[in-house]
Amino acid sequence: MFWKAWAPPCCKFFTWLLMLDRLWCADRLQRRGWLNDYFCPLCVRNLESSVHLLWQCPVARTIWAAAAGWHGCAALAPSTWPEGDRSEIYWAHIIDNTQAEHRKRIRSLTMLITWELWLERNRRVFHKKIAAPWAVIQVVRGSLEAWRLAGAKCLQHLFGNPT
């Protein structure tokens, strides 16, 4: 589902690890008896797992909801998602509920948002820098523009058709 989407190789590799549930989140560290911070660095109230961090966390859901307002991205609205314990459930639901002409866009956008949420998590864990959800949305928009300029034609006119 994701290997053919337009995205940098690091994002495709990250998505592959996500789908295999191989991200080094607190739940995985805890199972091995390794030191971890236990709580999700975004909401600081649930055990951090990749599913919680990227799909169920209230902060992540705020970011997804903002992206759902962009042209052709209604399937990104968390209010329409089923409950699930694996990332493939969310990913497949988003793709299946997107119109055919917007699927390439949604695949790339889903990879970008999960990647930026992961980077925000890492900034909080390793650098103790906390950004508000609106700031993360701005980073996503900036990355979208960079991806578009790098050749992601599927991301053209994401914020509406030019006049």
pLDDT one-digit tens code per residue, 125-152: 999 999 999 999 999 999 999 999 999 9
Distance CA 98, CA 52 (A): 23
Rg (CA), the chain: 15
**For residue 162, what pLDDT band results from cuts at 50, 70 and 90?**
very low
Residues 34 and 136 sit within 8 Å (Cβ to Cβ): no
Q: Which two tokens stand for residue 132?
A: 């508000």
**For residue 163, what pLDDT band results from cuts at 50, 70 and 90?**
very low
Which pLDDT does position 29 carry in this prediction? 93
> Distances in Å between the alpha carbon of 31 and those of 26, 51, 54, 94?
9, 16, 20, 30
Pick the closest to residue 56 from 28, 27, 83, 96 (CA basis). 83
Distance CA 33, CA 15 (A): 25
Which pLDDT does position 155 carry in this prediction? 87
**For residue 59, what pLDDT band results from cuts at 50, 70 and 90?**
very high
Q: Which two tokens stand for residue 68?
A: 């759902």
Residues 3 and 101 sit within 8 Å (Cβ to Cβ): no
Which pLDDT does position 136 carry in this prediction? 97
pLDDT at 156 over 90: no
Distance CA 60, CA 25 (A): 15
pLDDT at 89 over 90: yes
pLDDT at 44 over 50: yes
Distance CA 75, CA 80 (A): 7
